Structure 1
Amino acid sequence: MTERPRVAFFDFTGCEGDQLQVVNLEERLFDLVEVVEVVSFREAMSEHSDDYEIAFIEGSVVTAHDEERLAGIRENADVVVALGSCAAFGGINAIRNDQDFETVTERVYGDDADMIEANPEARPIESVVEVDATIPGCPIDREEFVQVVTGLIRGVEPTLPNHPVCVECKLEENECAFHRDEICLGPVTRGGCGADCVGEGTHCWGCRGMVDTPSEDAYTAVLEEHGLDAEEIVEQYQLYWGWQRPERATQEEAQ
């Protein structure tokens, strides 16, 4: 990369909340632009350039046009970063993946459903192109974004935490959501968020995706202790894992 790498942001199917988190860095953005040159960022500037080295991509892939556009971005970029849950593993968009597509489109668009040209499934960008780094979350954590950018500039490959949110709950001395009679996905969700949701009095919704090796037996034990069924509860709260869980099941069957 150049000494001051050129950076571009792209949005696919998503709410653009992750890019908004970058804008919300506010005065720290001035520090950021001293080390990178932002050449395309629709949320923050009108200029656009196809000459970039690092591409941050938000949103999931839902159309054939998305696939073509994504391939073009990958061809231009030296580094592609999946920004947020939708880009990383399908996110909320993938909640429709296990539903009948025709029924879903009619429910949302009514008489205009026939005009919708979309794939039956919402997919992460890595299902189409190679991804070099991932920043999960809904929305992303601003500090984690800064850490990833800093690492990329220094030539250090960013790594994600691979411990469950429960670890961070203990470090923060949070009251366990299960003890508040809440249903929580913290035991199998990737940490790195500081367990903010549980700390604020709610529970973990799984927005950072599943840890690579979730302790599913331990999760089952916790649920059974509170009179709950693991599969039933995970299905009930499959807000983010519509792509990730079936993919993991397929991989496990192949092994």
Structure 2
Amino acid sequence: MFIVFPDTDHVAQYVSTLFIQRISQQPDVILGLATGGTMEPIYAQWVKQALARNIDVSQVSTFNLDEYVGLPAQHPQSYAAYMEHHLLRHLAFDRSRIHIPDGLAHDLPAYCQAYSDTIRDHGGIAMQLLGVGSNGHIGFNEPGTPFDSQCHVVELSERTRIDNSRFFGPNEIVPASAITMGMRDIMDAHEIILVATGSSKAATIAKYYEHEVSPLVPFTILKQHPKAHIILDAAAAALVPSNVCQFYDTVPAAML
């Protein structure tokens, strides 16, 4: 079942409310976070709600999905910089609890193993936020990635690099590889919230509906997760049957 709202504003309000509620209920919650254009309005709403409700985030621990190999945290297109701009600088997080892969790590295999180990040492991720690429990747797990993979370095597909080139300047080269949580890391989360918005994601969501679980469409693995929620706007849901959608005109009042 897909949860569908009329537009991106309602999606952002709903998803951010889910995270604010979880933090309120469990101040030391472990969250998995994502980046990209889909997440920008979600983080904007998250900050707005947290400030309005005086939510304490000082005990929250976070693990980001991925980071480009070769980009320092200070690079404007790094995901560390993205998180700083859209979320971290606005709220009083304890920076020692913030985990974002290091794109400059020297021993990448050892670093990736340690990242997966650290997630498990924290007791696992309670809520994992995900977007999805046009080829069905989650994190940077490209089609064909084994479902039992842990954090690893991946060579980015041409499709993914083209999709992400919009975030880079005209003379900048999109990095060819990235550190990403593996499929096992993601599926070990207790609850997963995948968000897709816009007409450009409609065909991707249709693939999820139509395909059996397959590494060739990585995010189909979420069909096997007991608490995976697919949150869409109307444009992203346009190519799936209405009888597999739960439509909301607005965020339920009981959540606000």
Shorter-normalised TM-score: what interval?
A: 0.3 to 0.5
Q: Report the structure, 1 or 2, having the larger helix content.
A: 1
Q: Report the structure, 1 or 2, having the larger strand content.
A: 2
Q: Which has the higher contact order (CA 8 A, sep 6+)?
A: 2
TM-score (norm 2): 0.35
Higher Rg of the two aligned structures? 1
TM-score (norm 1): 0.35
